[in-house]
Amino acid sequence: MEMELYSNEDLHYLDNAATTFPKPESVLRSAVKFCAAACVNPGRSTFDLAMEASNMLLTARQKLCALFGGTDHERLVFGYNATDALNLVIFGLMRQGGHVVSTRLEHNSVLRPIHHCMDDFGAEATFVGFDSSGYVDPQEIRKAIRPDTKLVIINHGSNVIGTVQDAAAIGAVCREAGVLFCIDAAQTAGVIPIDMQQMNIDVVAFTAHKSLLGPMGVGGLCVGEDVVIPHSRAGGTGVKSAQLRHLEEYPFRLEYGTPNMVGIAGLVKGVEYIEEQGGVAAVHEKEMVLAKILWDGFRDTNGVKLYCADTLEARTPVFSFNINGMDPSEVGTRLDVDYSVACRTGLHCAPFAHEDIGTTPKGAVRFSVGPLTTEKDVTAGVAAVKELAAERN
């Protein structure tokens, strides 16, 4: 099947923290092939095509469960994105009230559901701060846990400053306190190794369209053994149709209606692409080589303020910066129009993080590298920032 593939050599796409682009060709072909050749519901029937769809879904559950170090692929559930998955966890657990510990690095996909649970259901929350380098001290999480704490939910990799939290140390604190521990892995799944068992993580929330290289519209949860997340929705599952309450067993427990099978078909190939590159750690290492070019360039340019990037350790290739005297949105427009550099400006859906790094209300400019970013893209980004900064010096 002929398909027109992205081929704009002149665009330097540095907005991979929003969504990775371009996607590997295998991802696109798999999604299109599934749509054309086997686009039927999984698990509902036994004719050949339905079995093919069910097998593809099973492969996806197995591959993602293995990627996160989960124990049971049936506990890998699919929803629509990280926001959807995080809502299931937060509303599921906090709708009856109680206390949740989170951080000031969170994305609105965590902050807003928590605030709704506070306003509407009387839940209480403690948002732990981060230090001047962008890291949350696991001991501060320990101090924030109360006898009525039901959930600790943290941003694993910041979509603003790129810092990666010590999930294993926070997991150990949660395990000791007997509190459920969930990570928002929207920015880390596929680029930072995650091992739920070693790190004492109970729930991983992921999205397909960032470093997992899948299409938009797929995300989900990998849920650990013995972890109970009450339903906050109910609906069709294709099985046990006479039952009038939603199923308790996984994966149905947290899946509602027909999944995005076309997206999942693409996602399987995204995970395979990561495997072919040598795995998650190898992808990270390769991206950090390009990140260093950005980092060196920013630090070497007068008038550029880079936030929380003292080191390249324990981080993803996501950087926020501002240029002296320039509005970040103006920088974004100039980068796009004059240099064909695509980036993201503003508050990046993380209002507390920007408040704490001192960039409220206008935010910052963000550059982010992905698995298909080239050296040409990052050198073009650095050259453009240097020229813009020189205009102000």
Ligand X SMILES: Cc1ncc(COP(=O)(O)O)c(C=O)c1O
Q: CB of residue 98 vs ligand X: minimum separation in angstroms? A: 22
C-alpha–C-alpha distance, residues 178 and 72, integer Å: 21
Assign 102 to helix, strand or coil. Answer: strand
- CB closer to ligand X out of 227 and 349: 349
What DSSP element (H or E) covers 36? helix 25-37
Closest CA to 345 of 330, 358, 355: 330
- CB closer to ligand X out of 107 and 284: 107
**In this chain, which of 16, 200, 207, 320 binds ligand X, going by CB under 6 A?**
207
79 binds ligand X (CB under 6 A): no
- Enter the tokens of residue 377: 């893209």
For residue 332, the one-letter residue type is G
C-alpha–C-alpha distance, residues 327 and 298, integer Å: 17
C-alpha–C-alpha distance, residues 336 and 13, integer Å: 10
For residue 282, the one-letter residue type is A
**In this chain, which of 16, 54, 83, 232 binds ligand X, going by CB under 6 A?**
83
Which residues in 215-234 are b (16+ Cβ under 10 Å) and which e? bebbbbbbbbeeeebebbee
**In this chain, which of 16, 30, 102, 109 binds ligand X, going by CB under 6 A?**
109
Candidates 32-40, 78-86, 94-102, 362-370: pick the segment binding ligand X (CB under 6 A). 78-86
191 binds ligand X (CB under 6 A): no
81 binds ligand X (CB under 6 A): yes
Cβ–Cβ under 8 Å, residues 204 and 194: yes
Q: CB of residue 350 vs ligand X: minimum separation in angstroms? A: 7
C-alpha–C-alpha distance, residues 52 and 220, integer Å: 21
318 binds ligand X (CB under 6 A): no
155 binds ligand X (CB under 6 A): yes
373 binds ligand X (CB under 6 A): no
- DSSP at 6: P
- CB closer to ligand X out of 58 and 314: 314
- CB closer to ligand X out of 161 and 223: 161
C-alpha–C-alpha distance, residues 374 and 383, integer Å: 14
Candidates 77-85, 117-125, 235-243, 381-389: pick the segment binding ligand X (CB under 6 A). 77-85
**In this chain, which of 149, 159, 301, 373 binds ligand X, going by CB under 6 A?**
159
142 binds ligand X (CB under 6 A): no
- Enter the tokens of residue 8: 């704009």
Which residues in 81-111 are b (16+ Cβ under 10 Å) and which e? bbbbbbbbbbbbbbbeebbbbbbbbbbbbbb
- CB closer to ligand X out of 334 and 366: 366
82 binds ligand X (CB under 6 A): yes
**In this chain, which of 15, 184, 356, 377 binds ligand X, going by CB under 6 A?**
184
- CB closer to ligand X out of 114 and 304: 114
Cβ–Cβ under 8 Å, residues 263 and 217: yes
- CB closer to ligand X out of 88 and 94: 88
C-alpha–C-alpha distance, residues 153 and 102, integer Å: 5
- CB closer to ligand X out of 22 and 43: 22
- CB closer to ligand X out of 83 and 301: 83
Candidates 52-60, 62-70, 81-89, 293-301: pick the segment binding ligand X (CB under 6 A). 81-89
Tell me the angle at which helices 375-392 and 280-299 cross, rounded to the nearest 10 degrees.
20
287 binds ligand X (CB under 6 A): no
Closest CA to 8 of 380, 387, 346, 386: 380
211 binds ligand X (CB under 6 A): no
Q: CB of residue 362 vs ligand X: minimum separation in angstroms? A: 19
**In this chain, which of 16, 30, 103, 187 binds ligand X, going by CB under 6 A?**
187
Hey, CA dihedral for 77, 80, 83, 89, is it positive or negative?
negative
For residue 42, the one-letter residue type is P
**In this chain, which of 64, 186, 304, 341 binds ligand X, going by CB under 6 A?**
186
Q: Would you tell me which residues interact with ligand X (CB under 6 A)?
A: 81-83, 107, 109, 155, 159, 184, 186-187, 207, 219
